[in-house]
Structure 1
């Protein structure tokens, strides 16, 4: 007589392989996002900003590159107008991202569309567009979007609380985190796209050239002149 355990065959996960792969990938991206979030909160507070500033910014703005740029400008002595303008310009790309995932949110109510629009990021759009089935696209978007939003804000809060105990960020080398993260965000596009590489080099050259002569934060805005090079090649 066979054992009942033998007749059942090998134990299997209740989730299909595709779903397990999605959860695994989302978890890995959440882990990476959490590390960056802790760094953002710690450096912002250690640089002199109140704890509530990076926390509220993360809840309301929720855009890593825009937040790093805005806080970096503030800590460098730039004004709030330059910081806000830079963040807004960096966030304009999400308008195109919203069009790419319009079908994911189009059938939902107003509240769901509002929340979904706030969750649109590079990562959530990438997860959604990687799925062929409409139902799976919606699932991928919401799972990654809610997961990343929760992890990012919790880690920013933890980093901000930890940053209040840090004296001089320069002593720990944390001041290099802002440019390092920004470089990491643009590096994939620069590597793969020659047009993006020309635009980045042009914008960087303009920023370096004007830095000694203009207030902090303005070189970042003027570096957008690199988009002119991108437009000519397009």
Structure 2
């Protein structure tokens, strides 16, 4: 509990103004995609409460889109849940990457684990010192959670009024933001850059062969390259 109570003081020490400014780009992209998710769910025939509850409890964009896709295609709840769980296995690696950022208190770790996403992890790891990484994680994570859920609620209430959201090119928003977040780390760390390129190559190679979502999981193979190099350095 003490580690969670210390979080506000950590945020103040690192001058969070610039972190809020940078995180706002992620929030904006999240809100827009959240509106898309809510609208698609309701326009497909699901009641408003389904995307809203999914966003509060599951809180994982790709898993939510996949689960709703299965439901709208006629699949059952178990198939939808299994699809979401499979896509979310990548967050295991993300959780390990930011384990020190969450703190040691049980409450902080429980709440922080719910905020672990591609965006919060990338934003946190792009910072240079531990205090700033922790502040970046909590600032981006709490803001992202709020904006995503508000966007989903707005989209769900709008229902089919938005029409075909695919025409807005919303699917390109998150990848663009993620690339911007990870570029600083890729530039300064050759080992991370090699691992990222290896993972990207694997994902591109298997994309025509496997179902949507699996290329992202298979891209984690790039971590094996990074792990071998780290072991060699220690030896």
TM-score, length of structure 1 as denominator length: 0.71
Deviation string for 1:103-124 (max 9, x for gaps)?
A: 01233x2111100000000111
- Which 5+ residue runs of structure 1 have no aligned equivalent? 1-14, 208-219
For residues 73-222 of structure 1, the aligned pairs below 5 Å read 73-107=70-104, 109-163=105-159, 166=160, 172-174=163-165, 176=166, 181=171, 193-203=200-210, 207=211
Alignment match, 1:217: none
2:33–2:170 CA contact under 8 A, matched in 1: no
Deviation (angstroms), 1:153? 0.6
Deviation (angstroms), 1:102? 0.5
1:26 to 19, 23, 28: 23
> How far apart are the structure 2 equivalents of 1:140 and 1:160?
29
> How far apart are the structure 2 equivalents of 1:59 and 1:71?
15
> Which stretch shows the higher mean deviation, 188-197 or 122-131?
188-197
- Higher Cα Rg: structure 1 or 2? 1
Alignment match, 2:42: 45
1:190–1:200 CA contact under 8 A, matched in 2: no
Deviation string for 1:192-224 (max 9, x for gaps)?
A: 822211121221xxx5xxxxxxxxxxxx69x67
- Which 5+ residue runs of structure 2 have no aligned equivalent? 1-11, 180-195, 226-235
Deviation (angstroms), 1:21? 3.5
Alignment match, 1:70: 67
Task: Detail structure 1 runs of 4+ shifted over 6 Å in the superposition.
Answer: 15-18, 186-192
2:124–2:134 CA contact under 8 A, matched in 1: yes
Q: Report the CA distance shift for 1:162/1:76 in structure 2 as closer, same or farther (over 3 A).
A: same
